[in-house]
Structure 1
Amino acid sequence: MAEAREPILQVRDLYKHFPLTQGILFKKQIGAVKAVDGVDLDLFAGETLGIVGESGCGKSTMAKLLMNLERVTSGRILYKGEDITKLSGRALKAVRRNIQMVFQDPYTSLNPRMTVGDIIGEPYEIHPEVAPKGDRRKRVQDLLDVVGLNPEYINRYPHQFSGGQRQRIGIARGLALRPEIIVADEPVSALDVSVQAQVINLMERLQDEFSLSYMFIAHDLSIVRHISDRVGVMYLGRIVEIGGDEQIYEHPTHPYTQALLSAVPVPDPTAREHRGRIVLTGDVPSPANPPSGCRFRTRCWKAQERCTLEVPALAVPAVFRGVDTPAAHDSACHFAEEQK
């Protein structure tokens, strides 16, 4: 999919901390939930970057930061070199034309009081320069056709559609302004498995047709592998490993990634018998009080004293530097190695 290697979106040292307060009249901050805690990412033109991780690791918060639906605590989000975290008013509105979002739940992300035509056409009310009034109905019908729905459904309401059809409506709304980037936050997690495949195939076709770049957030590793060019693995507010889809799935070097992949169901009974399952002990620590050093050390079988004292850098591990191997990709582990 991706050929151009110029980043269209850059995330640098991104933090989002939600304050914890006590008191009713005189609130005092006693801590913070560190939802996103120092993330660096590049999204290249025409590619799909998948972000995976457990629930509560900060994936959805990061999506909202990219859309400026939440204000960053610190850090930069650069769209074509411009820091969009500093924008507001008309400048922010102009950027949002080019960065749109597909939400997780098609049952709550569509206004039940609005017709499909009004839902998909609403972006034209906010950005009237994109489409003249007399042209909007035709554009909405064309978008319905593009996402595989009957254009005659334009006057129907969301409750008259299935979950998969509603998500297609959400995708059509995201395409209305012809954006360059779509942030998809768990876009198929609320759908049946058979419908998931249909929506994923639709998104892949639309990516080629509209020259889109996707930030695809999910917890299903199989879906992410199917659609992504590169994959970032997130744990407790940080990216712990990132690389090409084959690098991550065939040559994982971070213990957390290895544990996640060991839990993916394998249809072949023989292969399943020979694959070692890694069972993590303990619970995910609270983002309000994360461990010192490596965030994963409290559940890691490789943890040593260095992991307590030193935060591992997200970089190619020293053991793989200068070596021609798919394992030579960024991994935030002091003791990174290929799985035996």
Structure 2
Amino acid sequence: MPGPEGGPAPATSGRRSCMASTPSTPSAPPVPSAPSAADPAPPVLEVRDLAKLYPLTRGALVKRQTGAVRAVDTVSFDLRRGETLGVVGESGCGKSTLARLLVGLERPTAGSIRYRGEDIARLSGRALRAVHRNIQMVFQDPYTSLNPRMTVGDIVGEPYEIHPEAAPKGDRRRAVQELLDVVGLNPEHINRYPHQFSGGQRQRIGIARGLALRPEVIVADEPVSALDVSVQAQVVNLLERLQDEFGLAYVFIAHDLSVVRHISDRVAVMYLGRFAETGTGPEIYDHPTHPYTQALLSAVPVPDPEAREGRTRILLPGDVPSPADPPTGCRFRTRCWRAEARCAAEAPALAVPTALTGGAAHPSACHFAEERAAV
């Protein structure tokens, strides 16, 4: 595949074996997985019962809280070095709020985010700034995430103004040029402005900015959704190459299930602020057990006409409920064809169903989890 203007084509790398993480339940905090001989490294990032509520108020002079929007509600996962966790779901399910919480742009209402054992939510000042250096973000829109009045050199080098210890002042221009070269751009274009680059090149500039401080974790919030399909492949291949080169851990947020399957070691399906199902790529895509996951996969376009004829499209009734007033019990029950009285009275735990074996035996938040071939 040809590379972008002024840069070489990124190499394609295969996915590595997935790493286990501990599922969470709404009723009790999960137990962190113990290191084993096959997976000796502890998690770089540990998220436990993370929640973010935005208060709803009423009144002109005296504001009274009348409710809250549950954007993220009791989300838990582990992320290890070199691993990619893909987060998928409909618009408004809380994916971007989760991203902002992980990088510290929002303060959680409850729960913890531990980086190397330190709870980010309880840090402040220098300690918090030191942690933020190791968790960076790549934004969704390559057009609005870059300041049009700043040159590429100023944009990529801006993190050095906040963390001067990362690059001495005299070496910053050389460091920025090296970063541009790493992401496949011409280092001589350091004095150009964002409007002089294509969409794919602008996203590479955003990736270079995220790499400036040599982080361990990068949160990518739909980094390819605004790009053409061919450019999407180039950016995804670049992210995989950088992960192999620098040992990065990714939280890759997207609504394109095909892209997530290609890049992710583990996948988490999100609905109304909670994880509905988690597992490895083959477990989620080949053995889906949650009705919501099956409905999402049934909507994926299939290029093979014969395969299209042999599958059934799952159409969900109604609209997504408001996160300000989610349904009782299972949040998906108002649109689920398997819903029964138990679903309204009891919230299902994100756990491995005991009745399922093989690839279907992975965490699913459904009382009646059952494997169904969606694609």
The residue that corresponds to 1:219 in the other structure is 255
C-alpha distance after superposition, 1:143-194 (max 9, x if no partner)? 0011111001100111111111110000000000000000000001111111
Does residue 138 of structure 1 match 2:171?
Answer: no
Q: Aligned equivalents of 1:197 and 1:255: distance in 2?
A: 29
Query: Which residue of 66, 76, 89 maps to 1:30?
Result: 66
Q: Map of 1:171-186 to 2, 5 A cutoff?
A: 171-186=207-222
Does residue 338 of structure 1 match 2:371?
Answer: yes
Q: Map of 1:101-140 to 2, 5 A cutoff?
A: 101-140=137-176
Query: Which residue of 232, 240, 257 maps to 1:196?
Result: 232
> What is the RMSD of the two structures over their aligned residues, measured on CA atoms?
0.9
Q: Aligned equivalents of 1:42 and 1:58: distance in 2?
A: 18
Give 1:7 shift: 1.3
Compare 241-250 and 6-15 and name the one that shifted more.
Answer: 6-15
Q: Aligned equivalents of 2:70 and 2:267: distance in 1?
A: 22
Give 1:68 shift: 1.0
C-alpha distance after superposition, 1:4-24 (max 9, x if no partner)? 452111110111000111112
Give 1:203 shift: 0.4
The residue that corresponds to 2:95 in the other structure is 59
Q: Aligned equivalents of 2:217 and 2:195: distance in 1?
A: 28
Runs of 4+ in 1 over 6 A off after TM superposition: none
Unmatched runs of 5 consecutive residues or more in structure 2 = 1-15, 20-38
Q: Aligned equivalents of 1:14 and 1:148: distance in 2?
A: 36
Compare 327-336 and 22-31 and name the one that shifted more.
Answer: 22-31
TM-score by length of 1: 0.98
SS in 2 for 1:77: strand
C-alpha distance after superposition, 1:208-239 (max 9, x if no partner)? 01110000000000000000000000000000
Does residue 270 of structure 1 match 2:306?
Answer: yes
The residue that corresponds to 1:303 in the other structure is 339
Q: Specify the code of the residue in structure 2 equivalent to 1:190.
A: A
Q: Aligned equivalents of 1:126 and 1:80: distance in 2?
A: 22
SS in 2 for 1:202: helix
Compare 82-91 and 303-312 and name the one that shifted more.
Answer: 82-91
TM-score by length of 2: 0.89
Q: Aligned equivalents of 1:249 and 1:297: distance in 2?
A: 22
Q: Is the 8 A contact 2:354 2:361 kept in 1?
A: no
Q: Specify the code of the residue in structure 2 equivalent to 1:288.
A: A
C-alpha distance after superposition, 1:108-156 (max 9, x if no partner)? 1111111100000011111011111111101100100111110011001
Compare 2-11 and 22-31 and name the one that shifted more.
Answer: 2-11
Q: Aligned equivalents of 1:317 and 1:279: distance in 2?
A: 25
Q: Specify the code of the residue in structure 2 equivalent to 1:120.
A: V
Give 1:41 shift: 1.0
SS in 1 for 2:165: coil
Give 1:26 shift: 1.1
Query: Which residue of 190, 215, 222 maps to 1:154?
Result: 190
Unmatched runs of 5 consecutive residues or more in structure 1 = none
SS in 2 for 1:303: coil
Query: Which residue of 317, 328, 332 maps to 2:361?
Result: 328
Q: Aligned equivalents of 2:83 and 2:203: distance in 1?
A: 21
The residue that corresponds to 2:32 in the other structure is none
Q: Aligned equivalents of 1:177 and 1:37: distance in 2?
A: 31
SS in 2 for 1:331: coil
Q: Aligned equivalents of 1:253 and 1:59: distance in 2?
A: 21
SS in 2 for 1:129: helix
The residue that corresponds to 1:7 in the other structure is 43
C-alpha distance after superposition, 1:1-46 (max 9, x if no partner)? 3664521111101110001111122111111110001111111111
SS in 2 for 1:170: helix
Q: Specify the code of the residue in structure 1 equivalent to 2:152.
A: V
Q: Is the 8 A contact 2:143 2:199 kept in 1?
A: yes
Give 1:336 shift: 0.1
Query: Which residue of 76, 79, 83 maps to 1:40?
Result: 76
Q: Aligned equivalents of 1:113 and 1:25: distance in 2?
A: 40
The residue that corresponds to 2:34 in the other structure is none
